[in-house]
Amino acid sequence: MPSRFLIHYAQAHHEFRLPELQSVAELHDISYKLPDDPKDRDPTRPFMVVELESEEHARILARRCILIKAVYEFYAKGSTYEEVHRNNRQSEHLWKRYVEDTSFRFLVTSSQHKIPQSRQREVIESFSYMDFRGKIDMKTPDILLMCFEEYDEKPGTTRERHEGDGDFREVFFGRLIEEGTARQLVRTFDVKKRVYYGNTSMESEISLLMANQTLASPGKFIYDPFMGTGSMAYPTGHFGALVFGSDIDGRQMRGKQKVPGVLRAAQQYGIASRIVDLATFDITINPWRCGDLFDAIVTDPPYGVRAGAKRLGRKRELSERQKELCLMHSKSPRPDDQPYIPPTKPYELSHLATDLVLFSRYLLKPGGRLVFFLPTTDEYQEVDIYSMLCEGMEVIANSLQDFGSWGRRVRSDYSQAPLQVLIIRIQLVTIKKTTSKQFPPPTFEPIQPSPDESAHVPAHRDFREKYFQGFKPKSNETSVAEEATTS
């Protein structure tokens, strides 16, 4: 028979909580049920009561979910303490077995508030009817009973130490099952402590959340087509998966020392044996000759702010004379004995995203997942995500990391410049391959603009230009010049 458990969430990345819970539950074949009332499954609240089949399932979630601080056996909740006590008495069959000779500790705490010690004692004494007869142990008790008072968040305000005490939204009461040990990984993979990283390295908490979305586990084979400094490889490798990485610019993966930077960082985390290999190539001209290879593809595609997205090719077509000269020089050895560096051209974000979905459909096994970040603006609509889909690919999670009215300064010479408001949103998109049908390799042909003026234009189209316009609007002359340069 299912039992109810109280999940205490970290107050971060609200939109990622339920997708992470769903993914970890699917990975471990855990069935769960969320509250029926929408206000009780509000992801912005720090507490949520869910139904699980067993206490062991609760422990598994606490050990794997990055956003879970702790899981408790749920006893009661209420908007007043009278309601809490009434509901707690109805749950006597759950806590009665601890009454006789179990050492215990009783704590009263809250979110967004500091409860005076005098009232903490009053609350503890109000539970005296439970008649616990075991020893009170403040260090190593057999059970820990927790009473949580939930207060509404008031961002941007400064309150006195005990201001609004007792004006809580709801009270939760339960017994600690397991603390969220997975949250410790956020410090373990902290970029600042990593032996190798770059200016585009993903922060550890986000990379861990993405790893959970891939269902990373022993026996899985996972690919990052925009490897960079390897931020996605370390948490997926930690969870037991084998990782292959590639990038159009091998310098990011290699670094400047003899041992490649990604491998040095992997050695730091004890997962070097799980990095299968690293390769340098453009995904639009890739070496994959068969599909259905990977259990998941996880990546943070470059979107042209700190590191522009590139693909092989020329910005302008060569004239016939230039082609003749190239052909002539190709038949003679290079006098300076330098390696040939192929030319590259910009890779517009909306085209990259559409190509990435096609590429993933080809390479993923049936049921495999594509997990990636998609930056967008306040013009975002749900159809933006669905417009990049293709046959056999289905969106199963789309979480928003909203930075609000915010803009990043990318050069120090902007520090004194007036900052115009730019609304930036980051979507963590999880797409699943829902078909066993085999597809040919994508051709990555240039996407031609639709002549239909009513055709939908996604908000992430020309993201880089929109980003920098947020700092400094383009003049008409500049726009015309840039269009002439890129045409």
Do 109 and 249 fall within a single domain?
no
Q: Using one digit for the tens of pLDDT, what is the confidence trace for 263-278?
A: 999 999 999 999 999 9
Q: Based on the fold, state whether residues 257 and 123 are members of the same structural domain.
A: no
Residues 44 and 142 in one domain: yes
pLDDT of 407 reads: 34
Residues 6+ apart with CB under 8 A from 173: 75, 76, 77, 84, 88, 145, 146, 147, 148
User: How does pLDDT run across 446-456, given as a tens digit for each residue?
Assistant: 666 555 555 66
- The predicted-structure confidence for 40-72, as pLDDT tens digits, reads as follows 999 899 999 999 999 999 999 999 999 999 999
- According to the model, what pLDDT value does residue 156 have? 61
Final residue before a domain boundary, out of 125, 146, 179: 179
Same-domain pairing of 112 and 236: no
Confidence of residue 379 (pLDDT cuts 50, 70, 90): confident
Indicate whether 393 pLDDT > 50.
Answer: yes
- pLDDT over 50 at 478, yes or no: no
Q: How confident is the model at residue 462 (pLDDT cuts 50, 70, 90)?
A: low
Please report, rounded to a whole number, the percentage of residues in the chain having pLDDT higher than 70: 80
* Same-domain pairing of 225 and 295: yes
248 part of a folded domain: yes
pTM of the full predicted structure? 0.85
Q: Is 476 among the domain residues?
A: no
Q: Are residues 58 and 137 in the same domain?
A: yes
| Number of domains observed in the structure of the chain | 2
Q: What is the pLDDT of residues 291-337, one digit of tens each?
A: 999 999 999 988 756 556 777 777 777 677 766 766 666 666 666 66
Residue 36 in any domain: the answer is yes
- The answer on pLDDT for 401 being more than 60 is yes
What is the rounded average pLDDT of the residues 92-100? 96
Report the CATH number at residue 354: 3.40.50.150
Structural domain span for residue 152: 3-179
pLDDT digits 0-9 by tens, 119-135: 999 999 999 999 999 99
Could you tell me if 16 and 147 lie in one domain?
yes
Question: Does residue 437 sit within a domain?
Answer: yes
Average of pLDDT values for 358-364?
97
Q: Looking at the domain assignment, is residue 20 inside a domain? A: yes
pLDDT score at 134: 95
Do both 161 and 269 map to the same domain? Answer: no
- Same structural domain, 213 and 269: yes
Average pLDDT over every residue of 191-198: 93
362 and 248 belong to one structural domain: yes
27 inside domain: yes
For residue 228, pLDDT over 70 is answered with yes
Specify which of 71-85, 143-157, 289-303, 397-411 reaches the highest per-range mean pLDDT.
71-85
pLDDT for residue 476 is more than 60: no
Q: What is the mean pLDDT of residues 369-375?
A: 91
- Cα Rg, the chain, nearest whole Å: 27
State the pLDDT at residue 305.
Answer: 60
Q: For residue 340, is it within any domain?
A: no
pLDDT, residue 348, reads 80
Mean pLDDT value across residues 392-405? 77
> Helix 17-27 to helix 55-64 angle, to the nearest 10 degrees?
120
Quickly state the pLDDT bin for 157 (edges 50, 70, 90): low
257 and 170 within one domain = no
Domain at 18, CATH number: 3.30.2130.30
pLDDT band at 479 (very low <50, low <70, confident <90, very high): very low
Q: Per the domain annotation, does 486 fall within a domain? A: no
Same domain, 251 and 298: yes
Q: Considering 163, 179, 195, which residue would you say is the last residue of a domain?
A: 179
pLDDT band at 100 (very low <50, low <70, confident <90, very high): very high
